[in-house]
Structure 1
Amino acid sequence: MTLQGLPNGNELIDDPREENPTPMAQPTEELETIILNEEFPDRWVKIGTNLDPDLRRQFVDFLRQHAEVFAWSYDDMPGISPDVISHKLSISPAHKPVRQKRRSYDAERYEAMRAKVDKLKAIGFFREATYPVWLANSVMVRKARGGWRMC
């Protein structure tokens, strides 16, 4: 894979034009799946198999006792206060905003965007904002295991 230097010359990044992306990181040991609640078999975690048996038992017991702190879906996290986390665009007043030309996408990408936006709006993760002068297109990136990621 070709590496390109950034303008400051200190850091290197993968060249996105390359056909073979950097391989995904793999665990350093075998993992086992632990179901935290038998009533919800889709709520599971993976832990390493090299743990001391006593430590493993304590760890699994702890995870099962505190399984409610995990968010298993977006619906498990409604109404997060903006005091906890909030995103804003820090734009320098010295730079003029630029409106990108509206990009058109194929039907599959439009449907993936619509589903993601509807899901996040329904649970109150974000709200619609209108910027009459400033606009940036969403970028849809294919996930390694199928599906789409909206950026």
Structure 2
Amino acid sequence: MSDETKSSREKAPKCELKPLPAGLKYAFLGEDETYHVVISSKLELLREGMLLKVLKDHRTAIGWTLSDIKGISPLVCTHQIFLEKDAKPVGQAQRRLNPTMKEVVQKEVLKLWDAGVIYPISDSKWVSPTQVVPKKSGVTVVENDNGEMVPTRVTIEW
């Protein structure tokens, strides 16, 4: 099991902390700046302490890694799509991906497979090509041509 798919109870997750908009700050529920949460930077110290105490007491209720998120057992709920008798699969060519996107897709598929979220089906003709789209990863502050600091939405993940 890779570090990304280990439960947060086994090992604190490694996360890249990104710049936050004004009014927000990072707080940590574990030692050595682990188990980060985003809170208001305008909280009074007493209220911030109370909030962090509640979050620390219930840290296991938060899904820090993919393996912390538990799905519904197939014994409880199974989804099926019923097709008409004469329905036939439509063949589509596999979409070409540049090497960077191909690596991103491969890592994501392996991560979901390791976590048991997806599984291989070797004999189905009913599959779809992968579609990769940019993920808006948040807001950062950059300086514009006039020397002003302007919040800007960045895309750094797929």
TM-score w.r.t. the length of structure 2 is 0.59
Amino acid at match of 1:147: E
Taking a change above 3 Å as real, the CA distance of residues 91 and 31 of structure 1, as seen in their structure-2 partners, is: farther
- For residues 84 and 123 of structure 2, the distance between their equivalents in structure 1, rounded to whole angstroms, comes to 15
- For residues 106 and 82 of structure 1, the distance between their equivalents in structure 2, rounded to whole angstroms, comes to 36
Alignment match, 2:73: 82
- Using the TM superposition, give the Cα deviation of residue 118 of structure 1 relative to its aligned residue in structure 2, in angstroms: 1.0
Amino acid at match of 2:54: F
TM-score w.r.t. the length of structure 1 is 0.61
Structure ranking higher on relative contact order (CA contacts 8 Å, 6+ apart): 2
Q: Deviations over 1:63-121 (max 9, x none)?
A: 011112222222434x6442599784646538654232222212211111111111111
Gaps spanning 5+ residues in structure 1: where?
1-25
Gaps spanning 5+ residues in structure 2: where?
1-19, 137-154
- Number of residues paired by the alignment? 120
Give percent identity, aligned residues only.
21
1:141 alignment partner, SS class: coil
Taking a change above 3 Å as real, the CA distance of residues 91 and 131 of structure 1, as seen in their structure-2 partners, is: farther
How do residues 18-29 of structure 1 correspond to structure 2 at under 5 angstroms? none
- Using the TM superposition, give the Cα deviation of residue 127 of structure 1 relative to its aligned residue in structure 2, in angstroms: 0.7
Amino acid at match of 1:33: Y
Alignment match, 1:68: 60
List, as ranges, runs of 4+ consecutive aligned residues in structure 1 with deviation greater than 6 Å.
Answer: 84-87
1:45 is aligned, of 14, 37, 42, to 37
Q: Deviations over 1:26-45 (max 9, x none)?
A: 97x70121101114x23111
Question: Is this contact kept in 2: 1:99–1:135, CA < 8 A?
Answer: no
Amino acid at match of 1:93: E
Question: Is this contact kept in 2: 1:98–1:135, CA < 8 A?
Answer: no
